[in-house]
Each structure stands twice: as structure tokens, then as C-alpha cells.
């Protein structure tokens, strides 16, 4: 029983033509032979994706499919059929031609991806880190020629050394006569008499590489770093793909990030908030002093200019550190403390308690968000 076409492409039933096309191209890149030559199911997976795309990209077919499913398409003779293609390379060429997947020369390598987690301090100051990732690279045993070391490489008997074949294939767009890559030599025009025992003659294998990545100061959670030429290997004579490093910045116990600014909370005992004090506050460089003015209210913010995150690609520029005051009311008083506070409370006058803030301003400060 064929899978649901929408599930295959990972789109909802309300998806428009552009969304369907984007989903198919994304999926096709994941199934690219450069990335999946170690996956024996790659061709079947791409055929499934191509059939789903042919159904959903055609308005008439999609309407029939939405009402009657795959059975409706079969009864109406509208089911896509890709059995006429000789290889997965033919499939890619039929759909994409020269727009990223066609041959037109040696095919470049696909891009690789790796995810890393860093600390907030590393994101703020920049840091070199080492990442390990898997990539399809030139076989270390045969050095990419596909032959067991010491054995000859001969001219391909199927294509006569041309690397290409003339073929007529049935495509979703009718009968198409075209030149296709030889399915025996893969376009090289030569084949190994005895295939390499390590890579089975493919000339490439899945390897784990390590690379040093310079994390730029000011990078944000979810951003990525591109490293040219460190992706999957291309065909002989073609460049490799790129490596994309996806960065996650771990949450910090003392700071929240707001753009280029940092936010921290400073607990201030109520008597000190009333009297004013110099208190230590955490910063990226370590504890530093901040002056709390007499009469400071809960939720007030003290800015520390230039003590936040570095601004990405703006050397020397930094955001601010915003210190939010949390006035702490004393608890668990002993008898002497209670007497002192009762005496203080009895001495309070309207002058001590009067505020120039409006009711709206008080509520806004009390309910302030963004930290």
C-alpha cells in the first residue's frame, strides 16, 4: 500500500504549489547520490518522493487523489510511473536538469551539517571549538579510483569509455531522448578490474572528520556557520560541498539574552533598597559593583553600558547589561528585628510613602516583562 503523498513530502493538505515544490527539492537533496551512495534504499525513496510530487504538483491529479486516493489515480490511468529510468542519476537529471542536480560535467559534492552546543560566554567572546562530523569522502584505501591497490583500471565496456549512453526514457512529460550517465562506470569511462575491498569500487566512503570552527563573537542561538569545502566529496575533478555548523547556545543560570543585551536580576534587601547601597552584580567578566539609589523600587532597571554581548560583525561594539532590581522583603524575623521594623513602620508618614507614579505606571512596572 503506497504511503500518503502528503506524508511522503512532509506537507499539509492545504499546502500550495510553492510549498510542495520546496518540500520536494529539500527531500531530493537529502536523497542525493553523493550523500546516500551508502544507502541501498536511496533510489526507492527518491522514486516515492518523485511520485508524490507528480501527484500533488498537478492540479487535476491532486483533485482526484484528494477524493479517491491512489486507487482513484490507478483507475483513471493517472498514476505516475518511473520504471523507465535506469538509475537514480537519471531520475535526478529528469527532474532537475542543470539546476543543481544535472551532470554537465563532474558533479560537485553535497553539503554536510553538524550541530554544536556552546556556552553563553563563548557566544559573547567568540571561541575556537572542534567538531566531529560524518562525511562521504575519498576512499583512503584506493584514493578515490575505486580499484583495489595494485590492480588495473580498464575502459568501460558498456559505454566504450565515453561515460555516457544514449537512452530513450518515459518521463512524466512524455518520451524523452537524451544522453545519460553510464550506469556501469558512473560517467568515468573506466572501471576497476578488481573493485576496492573497502569502498566496493565506489571510490568514496563514509568517514568521520574533525574540524576547528572559529565561533564569531556575538553569534545567536540557532545561527549557522559555513565552512567552505569541508562537505561531501564530489566526483573526480569536481569540488566538495560545504559544511554547515548549526549553533545552539546553552541557557545561562545568571543571564537572559535580549538581542545584544543581557538581563540579570539583583536581589536587594528592602532596607538597602530604601537606604541605597553599593552591591556586587554578576557580569560576563566576573562580579562588579553597581550603585543602588536610595528609594529604589521593585522592578527598576540599572543599565551597565557596554557590558552585554558583542555585536556580531561589529568589532568593539557591545550591548548593555540590564540589572533588574528584585526587592526582597525580610522573613523569619527575630524579636529585636520585629521591634525595629514596628518602630520604623510607626514612624512612616505620607511623605515617605508618596509616589509620583500613576496607577498605570505602577501596574506596568509591577507586571513588566521582557526578562
The per-residue pLDDT for 283 is: 95
The per-residue pLDDT for 369 is: 41
Q: How many CB atoms lie within 10 A of CB 294?
A: 10
CA distance linking residue 359 with residue 363, whole number of Å = 6
Backbone angles phi and psi of 139, in degrees to 5? -60, 130
Domain boundary among 63, 81, 99: 81
Torsion, Cα of 90, 92, 94, 100 (10° steps): -130
Assigned domain for 222 exists: no
Assigned domain for 5 exists: yes
Domain boundary among 81, 109, 137: 81
Domain boundary among 46, 81, 116: 81
The number of folded domains in the chain is: 2
CATH value at residue 63:
1.10.287.110
CA distance linking residue 311 with residue 126, whole number of Å = 11
The per-residue pLDDT for 191 is: 86
Assigned domain for 164 exists: no
The per-residue pLDDT for 40 is: 67
Backbone angles phi and psi of 38, in degrees to 5? -95, 0
313 φψ region: left (φ > 0), alpha (ψ -120 to 50), beta (else): left
The per-residue pLDDT for 249 is: 96
Assigned domain for 171 exists: no
If DSSP codes are grouped into helix, strand and coil, which group holds residue 94? helix
The per-residue pLDDT for 91 is: 55
CA distance linking residue 159 with residue 370, whole number of Å = 67
In DSSP terms, which residues pair with 224 in a beta bridge?
246
Given a contact cutoff of 8 angstroms between Cβ atoms, the answer to whether 264 and 277 are in contact is: no
The per-residue pLDDT for 371 is: 41
The per-residue pLDDT for 124 is: 94
CA distance linking residue 306 with residue 261, whole number of Å = 9
CA distance linking residue 323 with residue 313, whole number of Å = 26
Assigned domain for 337 exists: yes
pLDDT tens per residue across span 131-160: 999 988 988 888 888 889 989 989 888 888
Q: Return the sign of the alpha-carbon dihedral for residues 4, 6, 10, 12.
A: negative
Assigned domain for 52 exists: yes
**Residue numbers of the chain with a pLDDT score lower than 50:** 84-86, 97-104, 172-173, 369-371
Assigned domain for 57 exists: yes
* Residues in contact with 337: Cβ distance below 8 Å, sequence separation at least 6, in sequence order: 330
The per-residue pLDDT for 367 is: 60
- Whether pTM > 0.75 for this model: the answer is no
Half-sphere exposure of 347 (CA within 13 A, CB side): 6
CA distance linking residue 98 with residue 92, whole number of Å = 10
Alpha carbon 28 to its chain centroid, in Å, reads 17
The per-residue pLDDT for 100 is: 43
CATH value at residue 359:
2.60.260.20
Range of the domain at 335: 256-366
Assigned domain for 124 exists: no
Amino acid at each position: 500500500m503506497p504511503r500518503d503523498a502528503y506524508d511522503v513530502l512532509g506537507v499539509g493538505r492545504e499546502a500550495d504549489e510553492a510549498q510542495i515544490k520546496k518540500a520536494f527539492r529539500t527531500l531530493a537533496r537529502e536523497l542525493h547520490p553523493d550523500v546516500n551512495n551508502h544507502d541501498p534504499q536511496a533510489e526507492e525513496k527518491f522514486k516515492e518522493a518523485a511520485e508524490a510530487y507528480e501527484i500533488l504538483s498537478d492540479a487535476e491529479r491532486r483533485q482526484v487523489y484528494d477524493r479517491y486516493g491512489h486507487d482513484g489515480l490507478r483507475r483513471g490511468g493517472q498514476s505516475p510511473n518511473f520504471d523507465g529510468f535506469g538509475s537514480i542519476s537519471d531520475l535526478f537529471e529528469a527532474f532537475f536538469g542543470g539546476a543543481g542536480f544535472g551532470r554537465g560535467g563532474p558533479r560537485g559534492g553535497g553539503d554536510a551539517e553538524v550541530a554544536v552546543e556552546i556556552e553563553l560566554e563563548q557566544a559573547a567572546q567568540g571561541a575556537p571549538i572542534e567538531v566531529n562530523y560524518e562525511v562521504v569522502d575519498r576512499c583512503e584505501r584506493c584514493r578515490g579510483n575505486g580499484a583495489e591497490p595494485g590492480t588495473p583500471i580498464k575502459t568501460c565496456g558498456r559505454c566504450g569509455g565515453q561515460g555516457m549512453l544514449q537512452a530513450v526514457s518515459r518521463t512524466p512529460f512524455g518520451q524523452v531522448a537524451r544522453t545519460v550517465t553510464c550506469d556501469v562506470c558512473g560517467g568515468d569511462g573506466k572501471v576497476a578490474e578488481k573493485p576496492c575491498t573497502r569502498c566496493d569500487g565506489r571510490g568514496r566512503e563514509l568517514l568521520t572528520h574533525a574540524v576547528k570552527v572559529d565561533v564569531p563573537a556575538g553569534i545567536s542561538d540557532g545561527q549557522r556557520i559555513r565552512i567552505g569545502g569541508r562537505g561531501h566529496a564530489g566526483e573526480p575533478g569536481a569540488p566538495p560541498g560545504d559544511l554547515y555548523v548549526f549553533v545552539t547556545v546553552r541557557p545561562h543560570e545568571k543571564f537572559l539574552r535580549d538581542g545584544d543585551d543581557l538581563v540579570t536580576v539583583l536581589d536587594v534587601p528592602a532596607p538597602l533598597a530604601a537606604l541605597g547601597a553599593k552591591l556586587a552584580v554578576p557580569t560576563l567578566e566576573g562580579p562588579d559593583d553597581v550603585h543602588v539609589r536610595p528609594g529604589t523600587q521593585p522592578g527598576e532597571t540599572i543599565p551597565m553600558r557596554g557590558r552585554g554581548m558583542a555585536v556580531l560583525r561589529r568589532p568593539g561594539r557591545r550591548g548593555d547589561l540590564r540589572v533588574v532590581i528584585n526587592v526582597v522583603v525580610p522573613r523569619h524575623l527575630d524579636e529585636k528585628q520585629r521591634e525595629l521594623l514596628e518602630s520604623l513602620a510607626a514612624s512612616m508618614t505620607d511623605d515617605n510613602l508618596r509616589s509620583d507614579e500613576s496607577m498605570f505606571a505602577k501596574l506596568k512596572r509591577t507586571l513588566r516583562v521582557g526578562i
